[in-house]
Structure 1
Amino acid sequence: MFWCDFSVENEEHCDFVKLREAILRTNVDSLRERTHRVLYEKYRRSRLRAMKVGDGDTGPKMMEAFAEKQREFHEEMAKKDKDMRENFIARVSSKEEEMKRREELVRFCFVLDQKRDKMFR
């Protein structure tokens, strides 16, 4: 009785590597095609459903749905732009007020320093 150690990946012991490569080479195109067909079609259908367009719809109905989605997108972007501008203006105003307060504090400290210097001369 012999015990042996062999590796499936070692081509000296096994033809598995050659078989695997042959199968992959012959089936990679069909795998790519099937993947494209299945995954892309699922994505396409979900996008069309989200736009409320049927799978076979073309022409005016599809163009109307596309125009509606485009209008909604532009409205959403305009709203975001407006919100960002308002937020920016509020932040700038807040910083300007803070800077004015600090300037007044610096002036006040400067005046106090001058008064102190006059008192101790």
Structure 2
Amino acid sequence: MRPTIEDQLSGAQRLLDDVATDSGLSQDSRENLTNVRRLLTQIGRSWATLLPFYAQDNAALTRLLTRHGVPVADDEPAGYDLAAAATRNAELRAHLSHVITNLPPDGTAARREITEYLIRRIATDPS
């Protein structure tokens, strides 16, 4: 489907490139323009990886929660619905928060497994 989000981001970058050639811009405007261009570049890089990240993280969270006795329905959004995948991820993380809050004092192995999951998640989160 055209234009894609990548096409739109690229188009916005081209427009900003044109504005950047205006010699009448103030120094503050030039700095703001540079920051907006940098932000659009960052969004463009992370956009393509967000949906695969959420799909993979939701599957990992579902397995983790199931191992710790939390029955999780297989409600993974189908297709390319980024908003639904992000919402599902937030729901699963809320379940994980409940698991963490209710870990027994002797839950060392569970804490270790959850900590390892969280470290991996932080390291791979493209947002």
Q: Same fold (TM over 0.5)?
A: no
* Structure whose CA Rg is larger: 1
Q: TM-score with structure 2 length normalisation?
A: 0.32
Q: Which has the higher contact order (CA 8 A, sep 6+)?
A: 2
Q: TM-score with structure 1 length normalisation?
A: 0.34
